Structure 1
């Protein structure tokens, strides 16, 4: 089964190699080797039979996504309560760096790694909790509004994808990957410059900042289409069940990104307390 998603294609190739490795290679069990009787898994001196694993299903992805959101929520609440106000700045920057590193490792890994995905949810939860606390302290009620808006957008995108109003065509996938890469680069440059006190105007509540946030929100919402397509293709390709963690990771990343952009946009329209 072919897929237009390059990340999923890479995972599919890795999974195919796993499946191939699980079967005997020529001569592995004594076939074609003179003087060596044919052996089968379980016999003395024979290779151990590979453990049977299920394939990825939609239910697997739903369960893993809910689990990751639960972990993220608990971590966010813990960070909100436990981290003192004096350390908020250092803590959220540190969590952002670690979360980014874990996210990149997971995204470019050729193997599904549930432990890394769970670790990402913990670290990203701390980051989200700390950032949310900063915004809520300054703009009362903004966190609840952003949470409701995030899941509202997610529901709408789910319905649009299910109704095939929006389709993940190869051209759409390539375009989205290019746009997301560009946005990521701009955000990283802006983040680094902000650390040195340089204001680019992208995050200060100006018309430029509002426009940038609106673009980011639209792209974040459309990124769900890539995640949904990834799940569909993963199920059709028969990827091993543990790859459902990777699919769930993609959905959670999009949700967090959308939430943070909505949080920022809503704050632009609220006055300081």
Structure 2
């Protein structure tokens, strides 16, 4: 299973359409999330005020992001951890269900895979996503992860799942460090290239799944465990890794421009989608290397 993360492109487009101050304007060199400085251009024009209104405004205590209902970094982090916990809990339940009845591997694997695909497309076209739907997605995603991980553990053992988990966390930390220090940059041009690349990779993955289900190809798909297959897995890991940098940048932008708080769940959801995608790609790569 592979895919991209359209969540943050949706946020960027909606913010531009709703014309939040400073969004899309030229930025100074960026630092960690929450540490960027707003550009001096691109602010919305303000209505004229009387002297009394200005005096009254300046006399008030400054309102923080929480008071004004804006996205904050802490809010996104907390909600990401909540969705991650739900995903892990669902994966644990799925693992024990399959352990008790191995015949559930296919239903949970395929059900979870197509369930997240359907939910993902539905959420892409929703103007306002109900909060419970993020939890439904996390549960369905967890059911797939549990069955997928159990299958790999039963077939390969030898700590493959633990290695995949550690590798995923390591890449996450490395990508954040690279983004925070400016070693990894996300620009408008790189975003456009990334969108085209994951669109192509997603289409390739869907075709591969169809061919696998119809028996045209078998194993891990095109290239199997040979050089081509390993190369494709490395491409998937690379795309999923850069997806994290795009996520960090989008969260940073949303906080910087004061995006509405309603986006915090969407930002958290998008980040978890990228983390899970990265884990799946790393696990598939390790499995292919074991078969090589």
TM-score by length of 2: 0.75
CA deviations over 1:186-238 (Å, ceiling 9, x no partner) = 00110011100011742621211100000110011001111111101111232
Indicate the residue corresponding to 2:146 in structure 1: 129
- Does 2:251 correspond to 1:251? no
- Does 2:98 correspond to 1:68? no
**The one of 181, 205, 224 aligned to 1:163:** 181
Q: How many residues were matched structurally?
A: 234
Shift, 1:158, TM fit: 0.2
Report if aligned partners of 1:12, 1:237 keep a CA contact under 8 Å in 2: no
Any stretches of 5+ residues in structure 1 without a counterpart? 18-51
Shift, 1:15, TM fit: 6.1
Shift, 1:106, TM fit: 2.3
Name the CA distance, whole Å, in 1 between partners of 2:268 and 2:17. Answer: 18
What does 1:109-188 align with in structure 2 at a 5 Å threshold? Answer: 109-140=126-157, 141-188=159-206
Displaced runs of 4 or more, over 3 A: 13-17
**The one of 203, 225, 243 aligned to 1:223:** 243
SS of equivalent residue, structure 2 residue 290: coil
Report if aligned partners of 1:15, 1:240 keep a CA contact under 8 Å in 2: no
Any stretches of 5+ residues in structure 2 without a counterpart? 1-7, 21-66
TM-score by length of 1: 0.80
CA deviations over 1:93-139 (Å, ceiling 9, x no partner) = 01111111112222343324322111111100110111000000011
Q: CA RMSD in A?
A: 2.0
Name the CA distance, whole Å, in 2 between partners of 1:53 and 1:108. Answer: 27
Name the CA distance, whole Å, in 2 between partners of 1:244 and 1:176. Answer: 23
